[in-house]
Amino acid sequence: MTQTPAKTSYDVVIVGGAMLGSSVAWFLTDNPGFDGSILVVERDPTYEFTSTSHTNSCMRQQFSQEINVRISQFAADFVKNFRAYMGNDPRVPTVALQSYGYMYLADNAGFAMTLRENQKLQEACGAGTKHMTRDEIAAAYPFYQLDDIVAGNHNLIDEGYFDGNTLFDWWKRSARERGVEYVTNEVVAMTKDASGTRVESVTLKSGEVINCGTVVNASGPRAALTAKMAGVDIPVEPRKRYTYIFEAEKPLDSDLPLTIDPSGVHMRSEGTYYLAGCPPDDDPAVDHDDFVQDHSLWEEKVWPILATRIPQFEAIKLRNSWAGHYAYNVFDQNAIVGPHPEVINFIFVNGFSGHGFQQSPAMGRGVAEWITAGAYSSLDLTPFSFDRIASGIRFEEKAVI
């Protein structure tokens, strides 16, 4: 990518070119009502430290809010029909959705009741979630040790994991071919008009001042830094999340669903290997450049829980591990999407708290609709508006991992 923009003015400037920024850019080019110019400013074209690069590319419909279920249903359709959505371009590969499902395990009656209520909502939305007794789980997946488990939820339809980076790569490539300009640079300041209701221009680290019609904050864990340039506070901060790839001496005889253990550790099949992850026990905000791993977490928490829940995982070998960042919304762990109520051309697509990959198709489409027409025309994303933060009313989603 070049460093210097070709022009001094753009209809839309997107701050951040990873999964969500590129989704917005591509969906704008795919919206028949939009014919403007787009500049994507990305500070690191390798994307090495983005949440996008550290994702586990999971997808689930098991949420407690209908809008979150609908968002994932669109994502599943988008993945399964990726080439068609990309204009039937023969260069575009098919993308497989590995529907091993999520298995939520409940170790108490209260959580089992929550799972049952969630299952009823998901079923009403057309999702294939099944509420299972402990005996039903044991019959379907005999490798689990279930002495402490009372029930679970599982869905084998359009739920599992996918190659999200293929979507990301083709959104970038297609957007560029359609005229979107990507530059390797960094937005360091914004200037508002006299009334303070619009961002007039952004200043790049290299010194250029770029006029803009709309600014999209797609800065991932750095969202609060970008928002502050517009005089806006946003409750998003980087939180570390750990991922482990391991090999089992005695592999399971069947696929391992993405299992959410009551401890907070999750695990799933990953080809011939297995993947596990968890938050740290102490979960503070971290520096944006801090990706140092706490290796004691594997030895003292993750491995013992894996071996307890699946006795065949007593003998395993760690093959790889990394720490990535959630763009964590400390207010209610759900996305913040749409315009700021006062700085009206400053658009959020932030705070996904680990749901960004699976929600990126619907969110990119929705933000493109808003920029183009001032309203959502497919899914109503207003529950994710900044207004709820200003009014202190949380969007309650019970199924947050």
Joined together, the tokens standing for residue 22 give: 């590129």
Look at residue 355 and tell me whether its pLDDT is greater than 90: no
State the pLDDT confidence band at 53, using cuts at 50, 70 and 90.
low
- Across residues 99-127, what is the average pLDDT? 97
* Residue 58 pLDDT: 83
CB 2 within 8 A of CB 183: yes
* Residue 46 pLDDT: 74
* Residue 399 pLDDT: 81
CB 79 within 8 A of CB 358: no
Q: State the pairing for strand pair 209-217/58-59.
A: unpaired
Q: What is the percent of the chain where pLDDT is above 90?
A: 90
Look at residue 297 and tell me whether its pLDDT is greater than 90: yes
Look at residue 54 and tell me whether its pLDDT is greater than 80: no
State the pLDDT confidence band at 170, using cuts at 50, 70 and 90.
very high
* Residue 386 pLDDT: 98
- Across residues 231-245, what is the average pLDDT? 96
pTM attached to this predicted model: 0.95
The Cα 315–Cα 383 span in angstroms is 46
The Cα 114–Cα 107 span in angstroms is 12
Q: What is the percent of the chain where pLDDT is above 70?
A: 97
The Cα 255–Cα 247 span in angstroms is 14
The Cα 323–Cα 221 span in angstroms is 14
Look at residue 223 and tell me whether its pLDDT is greater than 60: yes
Look at residue 275 and tell me whether its pLDDT is greater than 80: yes
Q: State the pairing for strand pair 258-260/102-106.
A: parallel
Look at residue 400 and tell me whether its pLDDT is greater than 90: no
Look at residue 352 and tell me whether its pLDDT is greater than 90: yes
* Residue 290 pLDDT: 93
**Average pLDDT across the chain, whole number:** 95
Joined together, the tokens standing for residue 305 give: 């829980």
The Cα 39–Cα 68 span in angstroms is 29
β-bridge mates for residue 201, sequence order: 191, 211
Question: Could you please report the per-residue DSSP string of 74-120?
Answer: HHHHHHHTHHHHTTT-TTSPP--EE---EEEEESSHHHHHHHHHHHH
Look at residue 200 and tell me whether its pLDDT is greater than 70: yes
State the pLDDT confidence band at 56, using cuts at 50, 70 and 90.
low
- Across residues 63-76, what is the average pLDDT? 96
